[in-house]
């Protein structure tokens, strides 16, 4: 029995985390077995990697990429895949599209190299559906900084970096339209959730 793998993606402050929680509550109310997780930081090891990446000191671009991949490899192997094998719906806050957008488009790292390392980290596991919460960059960044109070290593990067990231998500969504669905993150939280439920319904067994 294989479950359903749903990822939530987007730039900073797009409302992914709120929507993931609302989606979890909705699926639980329908009695689906569901688990929520995130990258980086979905496992005990991952939490340490997340702290190094977001709250630590200097991390070179290649080290950043490989730390994210170590997080992902462990996460897929010990959390995501086992839950899918048991028939769970897995809701994941960020996955490999974030690496393409942030390290590829944002940092300007080689996209082919990222794809190859991603293949190793994910062991080929792809999301069944990806919800891309799209929001104007400056609005999202302001929102993210307001929520966290203390901006992390990525949130501190300049507007141009975050604009490249969002361009990455846009290009990914154009290329992989069968999997990635754009959701307008500027709507009210209720409207976004209603749209997400409409998108997910056909995937529910
Ligand atoms: P968030 O989970 O609070 O959105 O923060 C995670 C941060 O890590 C966010 O700034 C995006 C960044 N990130 C990458 O740069 N590459 C990745 O592959 C992932 C999963 C996250």
175-188 pLDDT per residue, tens: 999 999 999 999 99
Contact 162 CB / ligand 1 (< 6 Å): no
Q: Which of 81-85's residues contact partners 24+ apart within 8 Å by CB, and which partners? A: 81/123, 81/125, 83/3, 83/35, 84/2, 84/3, 84/4, 84/5, 84/125, 85/1, 85/2, 85/3
Mean pLDDT of the chain: 96
Contact 50 CB / ligand 1 (< 6 Å): no
pLDDT of residue 63: 98
Per-state percent for the chain, helix, strand, coil, to nearest 5: 55, 15, 30
Confidence (pTM): 0.97
| Residue-number span of the structural domain to which 156 is assigned | 4-203
Q: What one-character DSSP code corresponds to residue 152? A: -
End-to-end Cα separation, the chain, in angstroms: 12
Pick the closest to residue 11 from 126, 131, 102 (CA basis).
102
| Closest C-alpha residue for ligand 1 atom 7 | 154
pLDDT of residue 164: 98
pLDDT of residue 123: 98
Pocket test for ligand 1, best of 8, 40, 146 (most atoms within 8 A of CB): 40
Contact 52 CB / ligand 1 (< 6 Å): no
Q: How far is the CA of 100 from the centre of ligand 1 (A)?
A: 11
CATH of the domain at 98: 3.40.50.300
Provide CB contacts within 8 A for 202, sequence distance 6+. none
Mean pLDDT of 59-83: 98
Q: Give the count of domains, the chain.
A: 1
122-157 pLDDT per residue, tens: 999 999 999 999 999 999 998 888 877 788 999 999
186-205 pLDDT per residue, tens: 999 999 999 999 999 999 98
pLDDT of residue 56: 85
Pocket test for ligand 1, best of 121, 135, 154, 172 (most atoms within 8 A of CB): 154
Q: How far apart are CA 85 and CA 28, in angstroms?
A: 19
**With 90 as the cut, is the pLDDT of residue 10 above it?**
yes
Q: How far is the CA of 31 from the centre of ligand 1 (A)?
A: 30
Label residue 1 by pLDDT band (50, 70, 90).
low
In the numeric block, the tokens 């940092």 are attached to: 107
Q: How far is the CA of 154 from the centre of ligand 1 (A)?
A: 8
What percent of the chain shows pLDDT beyond 90? 92
Structure tokens at 149: 């109070």
**DSSP state string for 20-33:** HHHHHHHHHHTT--
């Amino acid at each position: 029995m294989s479950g359903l793998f749903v990822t939530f993606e987007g730039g900073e402050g797009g409302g992914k985390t709120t929507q993931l929680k609302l989606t979890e509550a909705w699926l639980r109310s329908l009695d689906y077995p569901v688990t929520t997780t995130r990258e980086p930081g979905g496992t005990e090891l991952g939490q340490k990697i997340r702290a190094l990446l977001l709250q630590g000191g200097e991390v070179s671009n290649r080290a950043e990429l490989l730390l994210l991949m170590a997080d992902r490899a462990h996460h897929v192997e010990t959390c995501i895949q086992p839950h899918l094998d048991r028939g769970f719906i897995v809701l994941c806050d960020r996955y490999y599209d974030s690496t393409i957008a942030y390290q590829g488009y944002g940092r300007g790292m080689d996209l082919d190299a990222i794809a190859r390392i991603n293949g190793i980290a994910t062991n080929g596991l792809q999301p069944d559906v990806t919800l891309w919460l799209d929001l104007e960059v400056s609005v999202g960044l302001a929102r993210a900084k307001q929520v966290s109070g203390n901006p992390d290593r990525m949130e501190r990067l300049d507007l141009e970096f975050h604009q490249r990231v969002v361009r990455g998500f846009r290009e990914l969504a154009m290329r992989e339209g069968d999997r990635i669905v754009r959701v307008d993150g500027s709507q009210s939280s209720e409207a976004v959730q209603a749209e997400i439920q409409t998108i997910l319904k056909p995937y529910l067994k």
